[in-house]
């Protein structure tokens, strides 16, 4: 499974989104993820950089993740397919809060999950990379060199970068760390492996707008009534993406 391979190679956890069995709600997770990709918020960038996101059919999810709660819509799991935590989520009503929900689930209410991952990554990261991280935006070292090193390593140390950002005490250090994370996310070009690569989902160039939703997961009743659930979920930019369908086969 490509998602698991990426989790292992990049020291990341996975979050599975349950595709609803209700035909009229089936496409909701896909549109909510589209909104995350198009968002310009720090929360969205952190979620994309730190996590491996995959959409799964409900039966597949229940059969592959041991002890998963069938009522949960967001499921945090590790590289051994063990469920860590989960929660319910209304993709249609709360789509604008998906980034925050993903991060809260991944970090834990007290931040302990993020801290544990950051410590584990620090323990196996090259000392020279750690030196760049620890002196970034301080009086020591060259900021441009340290930034270049960290951007290059960002795919493998994203949780450590985010944890370090939460602990930064100066505005300069906070901004320097934010620049590293944002540069990493901005450099990702879907569908190539990177922050904007979502597993089990096909996105395409933006063709949206009322009356022209390219989503292939809408129920026939929605198509007949011209319901545009995605309308307003994300503004169009030159590189905007539209949700097309799930890749569940």
The DSSP annotation for 181-246 comes to HHHHHHT--TTSSSTT--BTEEEEE---STT----S---HHHHHHT--TTTTSS---TT-EEEEEE
Q: Which of 16, 159, 1, 186 is nearest to 84 (CA)?
A: 16
**Number of alpha carbons in the 13 Å side-chain half-sphere of residue 197:** 15
What domains does the chain contain, in order, with CATH numbers? 2-109+191-246 (3.40.30), 114-186 (no CATH)
pLDDT band of 228, cuts 50, 70, 90: very low
Query: Is the per-residue pLDDT at 231 higher than 50?
Result: no
Judged by average pLDDT, the poorest of 111-125, 128-142, 189-203 is 189-203
CA 49 – CA 56 distance, rounded (Å): 20
Instruction: Give the tokens for residue 134.
Output: 């620890």
List of residues 6+ apart from 236 with CB closer than 8 A: 206, 208, 209
pLDDT band of 222, cuts 50, 70, 90: low
CA angle 229, 233, 236 (to 5 degrees): 115
CA 161 – CA 165 distance, rounded (Å): 6
What radius of gyration do the chain's Cα atoms show?
19
Sign (positive or negative) of CA dihedral 223, 243, 33, 238? negative
CA 138 – CA 173 distance, rounded (Å): 7
Rounded mean pLDDT, 65-94: 95
Model pLDDT, residue 139: 85
- 169-212 pLDDT, tens digit each: 999 999 999 999 999 998 877 666 678 778 887 777 665 554 45
- 23-79 pLDDT, tens digit each: 889 999 999 998 998 888 999 999 999 999 999 999 999 998 988 999 999 999 999
Q: With contact defined as beta carbons under 8 Å apart, do 180 and 151 qualify?
A: yes
Q: With contact defined as beta carbons under 8 Å apart, do 133 and 67 qualify?
A: no
């Amino acid at each position: 499974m490509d998602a698991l391979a990426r989790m292992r190679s990049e020291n990341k956890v996975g979050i599975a989104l349950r595709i609803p069995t209700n035909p009229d709600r089936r496409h909701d997770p896909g549109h909510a993820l589209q909104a995350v990709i198009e968002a310009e918020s720090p929360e969205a960038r952190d979620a994309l950089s730190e996590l491996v996101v995959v959409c799964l059919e409900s039966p597949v999810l229940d059969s592959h993740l041991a002890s998963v709660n069938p009522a949960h819509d967001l499921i945090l799991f590790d590289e051994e397919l063990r469920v860590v935590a989960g929660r319910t989520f209304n993709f249609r009503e709360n789509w604008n809060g998906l980034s925050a929900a993903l991060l809260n689930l991944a970090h834990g209410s007290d931040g302990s999950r993020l801290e544990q991952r950051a410590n584990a990554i620090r323990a196996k990261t090259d000392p020279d990379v750690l030196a760049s991280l620890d002196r970034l935006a301080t009086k020591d070292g060259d900021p441009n060199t340290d930034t270049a090193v960290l951007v290059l390593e960002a795919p493998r140390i994203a949780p450590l970068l985010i944890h370090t950002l939460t602990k930064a005490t100066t505005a300069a250090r906070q901004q320097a760390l934010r620049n590293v994370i944002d540069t990493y996310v901005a450099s990702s070009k879907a569908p190539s492996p990177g922050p904007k690569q979502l597993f089990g989902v096909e996105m395409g160039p933006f063709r949206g707008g009322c009356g022209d939703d390219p989503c292939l997961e809408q129920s026939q009743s929605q198509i007949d009534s011209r319901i545009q659930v995605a309308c307003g979920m994300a503004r169009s930019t030159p590189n905007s993406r539209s949700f097309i369908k799930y890749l569940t086969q």
